[in-house]
Structures are given as structure tokens and as C-alpha cells.
Amino acid sequence: MEYSFLKIANEGNICILTISAPKSLNALNSVILNEIGNFCDHFDCNKYRCLIVTGDGEKSFVAGADISEMATLNVPQGQTFGQKGAAVFRKIEKLHVPVIAAVNGFALGGGCELAMACDIRICSDNARFGQPEVGLGIIPGFSGTVRMARLIGMGMAKELIYTGRTVKADEALRIGLVNAVYPQAELLEQALLMAKKIAANAPLAVKAAKLCINAEYDMDADEAIMYENGIFGHCFATEDQKNGMAAFLNKGKCEFQGK
């Protein structure tokens, strides 16, 4: 399918999605959000085992949501715009394959929220993260208050959201907002290396692990443990489990088929 603001490439069973609106530093407007949502709706989780999300250019992952579109919104329109962004990011979060955000520059506002909707975040050494919305008279509207508190803890999330300050790559790593920092020239290569490690594993097991981790956010400890145990048991109905363990016992290597 053709998109105006998305570039799609693949390397084997890894898909690379690039948000491409360089004139606005890849800022998210309704059209781009609709395109990302459509991409998620048609993403082939049987063909691909991992998705990498990045931004076009060297300056910005996603600089934020489009302020020019938001400036004149009233209350119902503001709620509708927020619901659209939150729903699209939820689709990313719920994809059955792991999603790696390769953050190559600014990830502010909606860009930071997009990165947080991904499973794993790595960034270039020139990356900047932040939720500056309070300086515009609003709050993070694409689920940023929810995900940031869960990722880096309530105290640090409150500080960043209340002050609106941005953090550089090294601080983002220190507070747990990103998993790793690389020179910009190496970022996509490192994202692909990680994606290939993920793709080499049993896809049904990876899917099950993602399902457990995401679902357990909203459960108490006992409920989460029971849920995990149920998913764990179902893994033993797969060919991947049988073949993977047989290969291990025979000191061989398994090529998982996702069955």
C-alpha cells in the first residue's frame, strides 16, 4: 500500500517503518496518524518477526504532534485528536511482534509517546526526549502520562512532565527511558542486530512473552503469575518448543518455523 508520509522497507523477516515528513521534523498530524494506524492494521505478523520504527533524516525521530493542527481545537476536537493518537499507539503496542524504536534525534511530545509505545528503545547520541506539553497549556495526550510513569517510575515521570524539560541520550539511558545509546551512524545497524537476535528465536514464544508482559501491567502479582503460567503451558503445544528443546539436547541449532 502506498503512503504519503511512511517509508517501508524490509531486511528478510524484519520490517523497517520510517516516518517521513522532514519539513516538519516528522511531526505527527492526523494524516500521519491515520497512515500509521492503517500500517498496523495491515502488518503481516506471519511474514515479519520484528518491526523497527524510526524517523527520516538526522535531526528528528518525531518532533511532536503538529501544533498548527492542535492550536484551534475545542474540547471535543481535542479529545478526538488525543483518542486518535492513543488508539494508534495502542495498535503499535499490541502488535504480535516486538517493536524497536530507533530514535535518531528529537523525540518530543508525541514522538516520545510513540517511542514509549514500542517494546524497546535505542537512540543515537544526539537524541533528545521530553514531554513539553505543559508549556503549551496541555498535557501529554497520546498516553504519555500512563507509559512514562510505568517505564521510569512515578517520581521521575512527574518531574519530566511537570517541568517539561528535555533529557539528553545519556540521561535517558540512566533513568531507563532507553535501553542503549549509539553513534548516529551506527543506530540503524544496531537496531537490525537486535531485531535479528529476536527474529532468530521461536516467534510464538516471543509473541507469548510480549503478551504476558503487556497484560500483566494491569494485574496484581498473583493474577499475573497465574496468567503467565497459562501462557507458559500453551507454549508446549507448539512445534517450535519441541524442535527447540530437541536441538538443545542434541547440541544443535534450531531454525524456528513459527508453528
Write out the catalytic residue numbers: 113, 133
Q: What is the DSSP letter of 210?
A: H
d(CA 229, CA 211): 12
Q: What residue has cell string 518491526? A: 51
166: enclosing H helix or E strand: strand 166-168
Contact yes or no for 100/50 (Cβ under 8 A): yes
d(CA 80, CA 29): 13
Phi, psi of 122 (to 5 degrees): -125, 155
Beta-carbon contacts of 87 under 8 Å, excluding residues fewer than 6 positions away, are 37
d(CA 96, CA 49): 9
Sign of the dihedral defined by the CA atoms of residues 219, 39, 139, 82, in that order = negative
Strand bridging mode 50-55 / 14-19: parallel
Query: What's the count of helices (H) and strands (E) in the chain, helices before strands?
Result: 11, 10
Beta bridge partners of 55: 19
Beta bridge partners of 182: 124
